[in-house]
Amino acid sequence: KAVKEGMLEKRSDGLLQLWKKKRCILTEEGLLLIPPKHPPPQQQQQPAPPAEPAAKIKELHFSNMKTVDCVERKGKYVYFTVVMAEGKEIDFRCAQEQGWNAAITLQMVQYKNRQAILAVRS
């Protein structure tokens, strides 16, 4: 079930580190990153890869997430980093009033609390 939905910008891993818009769905289990519905024109000319469309959707599961660091507020944007358990850092930005970093942090803490309660009970 979706807790929050909307657009976030994710910094690409490549050399240019461009900001790419992603449709995001925050759930009680993690954050889903979905490419925007209409790819830029230069991508439409290439034949579609034989991979399943679901392969394009990336899930950042809270079980693999360590922290959400609010890096800075600059201009109209909040820049924040999701740090994964294996040390990978994923940079995001969104408009300040959207509060994505706070929403992700809150859901992650609630998830970790639920896991801790389950561990104590078992």
Query: Which pLDDT belongs to residue 55?
Result: 58
Where are the chain's structural domains?
2-38+55-121
Instruction: Kindly report the CATH class assigned to 2-38+55-121.
Output: mainly beta
Q: In the chain, which residues have pLDDT < 70?
A: 38-55
Sequence-separated (6 or more) residues with CB below 8 Å from residue 59: 30, 31, 32, 33
When the pLDDT of each residue in the chain is averaged and rounded to a whole number, the result is 87
> Among 69, 66, 65, 64, which residue's Cα sits nearest to residue 79?
69
Sequence-separated (6 or more) residues with CB below 8 Å from residue 79: 70, 71, 72, 73, 91, 92, 93
